[in-house]
Amino acid sequence: MAAAFTRNDSIHNLWRSHRHSIGAPNNLRNQLPNQLQLSKSYSRFPQSVFPRAKKLKISASSIISSSRKSYSSKFALFGWYLRMVKSRPIVTKSVTSALIYTAADLSSQTIVGESTEGCDLVRTLRMAGYGMLILGPSLHFWFNFVSRVFPKRDLLSTFKKIALGQTVYGPAMTVIFFSVNAALQGESGSEIVARLKRDLIPTMIDGVMYWPVCDFFTFKFIPVHLQPLVSNSFSYLWTIYMTHTANLEKVGTACFQVGNCK
């Protein structure tokens, strides 16, 4: 009796498995349209997304190439400047000084707003001429002279160079700058002397607070042939102050007789 029940169960299980195997194709037929729909959607996926990825890749490569070109052009310009400094040092440094003095004077006129009629181009040409004819060549010879006197770059030599600049070169160039600019404005000898008495000492005091730090960096870390360029870069802010001071109203000689000069 138990064997009969077991045999019936096995037959029932075989019948159920047979029915499942028969229904499997139907299930496959039902799933086939869904799979075809998914394959179609996947086939459309590269056409819609991959072109965008290609566009992004092309745009990124174009940005990288343009940045490389800009960097290469900057390095090419700097390399050209270095070659000009070595081949024509005086002319290159003089033109550099003229450009910096021009930019500094224009900045000074813009910041202070001294003229309501616009920019004073004659004044700017005076500053550019001073940078071209006087300051640029003098910087070339001065830095070469200092490097020969103190060839080392240790701290002691650097401080000696700074002291020499503050006591010799700086005061001499300040006197020349004020005197030449005043003479080009038509001031007489006595008026130039009066201007120097009024402006020279305050300017030198302000210079002592500004230039030693700049000179320390220049003498300590910069090669000799590039020191005028770095010094001119530092002198941009200083020149804004200098051009403003040099173009103040002239001092009357009578004020010194009464001791009331401002």
User: Does 43 score more than 70 pLDDT?
Assistant: no
User: Does 4 score more than 60 pLDDT?
Assistant: no
Rg from Cα positions in the chain:
41
Sorting pLDDT into bands at 50, 70 and 90, what band is 12? low
User: What's residue 58's pLDDT?
Assistant: 57
Sorting pLDDT into bands at 50, 70 and 90, what band is 250? confident
User: Does 30 score more than 80 pLDDT?
Assistant: no
Least confident of 39-48, 84-93, 232-241: 39-48
Q: In this structure, how many other beta carbons lie within 10 angstroms of the beta carbon of residue 196?
A: 17
Q: What is the pLDDT of residues 176-222, one digit of tens each?
A: 999 999 999 999 999 999 999 999 999 999 999 999 999 999 999 99
Q: State the average pLDDT for the chain.
A: 79
Q: Evaluate whether 216 touches 162 at the Cβ level (below 8 Å).
A: yes
Quote the tokens at residue 116. Answer: 């309501």
Q: In this structure, how many other beta carbons lie within 10 angstroms of the beta carbon of residue 138?
A: 18
User: What's residue 118's pLDDT?
Assistant: 77
Question: Per-residue pLDDT averaged across 89-112, rounded?
Answer: 92
Would you give the DSSP letter of residue 253?
T
User: Does 104 score more than 50 pLDDT?
Assistant: yes
Q: What is the pLDDT of residues 116-127, one digit of tens each?
A: 567 899 999 999
User: What's residue 7's pLDDT?
Assistant: 47
Could you tell me the maximum CA-CA distance found in the chain, to the nearest angstrom?
147
Half-sphere exposure for 213 (CA within 13 Å, toward CB): 6
Q: What is the pLDDT of residues 151-182, one digit of tens each?
A: 999 999 999 999 999 999 999 999 999 999 99
User: Does 2 score more than 80 pLDDT?
Assistant: no
Taken as a whole, the chain contains a residue count of 262
Question: Per-residue pLDDT averaged across 129-138, rounded?
Answer: 96
User: What's residue 254's pLDDT?
Assistant: 45
Question: Per-residue pLDDT averaged across 22-28, rounded?
Answer: 49
User: What's residue 121's pLDDT?
Assistant: 92
User: What's residue 65's pLDDT?
Assistant: 61
The alpha carbon dihedral of 185, 191, 195, 196 has a sign of positive
Q: Say if pTM beats, i.e. exceeds, 0.85.
A: no
Q: Evaluate whether 195 touches 251 at the Cβ level (below 8 Å).
A: yes
Q: In this structure, how many other beta carbons lie within 10 angstroms of the beta carbon of residue 255?
A: 14
